[in-house]
Each structure stands twice: as C-alpha cells, then as structure tokens.
Amino acid sequence: MRKFLAFVAAAAAVLTAGPSIARPLVAVIDSGVARTAELADVVIAEYDVASAAAPRAEFQPRYDHGTMVATIIHRETKGAADIISFRMDDPNGCPPSFAPPCQFSPHPVAAAIRKATELNVDVINISLALQEHPVIVEAVREAAARGVMVVMAAGNNGNDRPSNRNAALAGGTHAVLVGAVDKAGLPWSGTNRPEAASAGYEYVWRLGVMVPTRSAAGAAVAGTGTSFAAPIEAAHRLMAMEAARTATAVAGGSSSPVLAIGGALGGTRR
C-alpha cells in the first residue's frame, strides 16, 4: 500500500511539473561577457577562441561590447534564455583608429560558429562586421544546415549594401541581417541598408539608437549601432523558436497524461 501511495504521489508531481524542456540557448560571439549582477545566473560558459593556447580569465572582458550585447538579449527574453560567450577579440587589442572588439583573422570567428553549432545552441548572435572570408561563410552555412539561426549586424558604414552579406546568403532562411532604426522607426544615419528586395537574404530593422544596457562593470549605459539592434532580433527569434518548440512538445506528448498514468497504475481511469 505504501508503495502504491508513493507511486501516486510521484505521478501527481509529474502532472504538476509538466513536460521538462531545456531553456533556450544563445551564443554571443563578441568581446567576452562579464557576469554582472544582471547576467550572473544566465551566462553559463565562456570559450576564448582567440587565445586558445593561453585562455584569458573567464568573464573578465577587456571591452564592454559583448556584455552590452548579452544584456540586451537577456532583457528582451525577460531572462528566459541562457547565454554562452565566445570571446573573439584579439589579445593584442585594437589599433588606435579601430573601435573594439577587433579580430583580423577569420579563423577565431569561424571556430566560434562551429563550436556553438556543436553545442546545439538555438541562435548565434554576431554583432560584428565580419570579413567576407570563405571560412566564415562556410561556418555560417554549416550552422544553418543544422537548424541554428544566425543573426548578424548589418554594419555601421552608412552604405547601401550590408556587411556580412555573403554569410547571410550562405545561411539562407536560417540567417538574418539587422539594421538600426531610432525610436521613431527611422533608419539611423550610420546603418548599412539592404539592397533590392531580390538580393537573396533576409534583412530586418530593429531599434539601434541609444539602446539601454549595461557595461562590463555593471554600469547603466546605452549603445548605438547595428551591434545593438542585432541582439534584439536574436532575442525575438529565440523566443519564437522556443514557443514553437514548446507547442510541438505539448502536441507530441501524451494526449492525456492522466490516462497514461492510469495505464501504469493498471485499469482505465475515467
């Protein structure tokens, strides 16, 4: 009798808890992410792809950029996603005329994309103007083929042709470029704009002017540029994928958990 009652209690717990679904997972390929008070519970790992021989201390970035991006994702998902940081900034820093983060080799970024794909992330956020190098383009193609959504900033040169164009073409329906608009919905003067509608890639607009976020030190700051528009889109893609996955899990499970447990207990429950 005791065993029977224990089984009923366990079955009731299963019904109350519902199906177990892993939290959505996003990769941030950037300058590294600090575990600020806001991000401490959601930044679950960091890989230093730019200094593999002598990895730098985890979660202690030299620059704010990656933490700002990750904070935007965290806020847009309302804390419902976990983040893996891929630190790609050159250990030697940036030349005086360049805005961080800098990386002049395509290989660390390609390695980060491939590692993120291997880890089965749902979305990869790349708030960088990548080199249109074949090794990066191929890494994006591989990620997309595995069902990973790759969200990339369109770049900040004010051009009528976006950065990361070839990677977006390679990613097809699993890649998107993001341009920046202001709070009135008007394109920011510095954003790279899309080409004609027949260009063959997806391009969307998101807020990218004075986007509230936090620095690596945890201070309140605001970011302007397509770097800070991309994580908003990444968060929205992530949550749309999660909603679809949850709906599929519910639809694909037992149509009647009570009947399933009834069968385990023996007999038919009404």
Residue 236 among the catalytic residues: no
Q: Could you tell me the CATH number of the domain that includes residue 111?
A: 3.40.50.200
Catalytic residue from among 48, 64, 65, 82: 65
**Band of residue 253 on the pLDDT scale cut at 50, 70, 90:** low
Residue 213 shares a structural domain with residue 266 = no
Region 181-197 average pLDDT: 96
Catalytic residue from among 30, 48, 64, 122: 30
Region 1-18 average pLDDT: 45
Which pLDDT does position 129 carry in this prediction? 87
Residue 58 shares a structural domain with residue 134 = yes
Q: What's the sign of the alpha-carbon dihedral 162, 167, 169, 173? A: negative
Number of folded domains in the chain? Answer: 2
Residue 244: which domain range? 23-252
Q: What is the pTM of this model?
A: 0.85
Cβ pair 181, 187 in contact under 8 A = yes
Region 202-226 average pLDDT: 98
Residue 65 among the catalytic residues: yes
Mind listing the pLDDT tens digit for each residue in 10-21? 444 433 444 446
Residue 170 shares a structural domain with residue 151 = yes
Residue 260 shares a structural domain with residue 233 = no
Residue 227 among the catalytic residues: yes
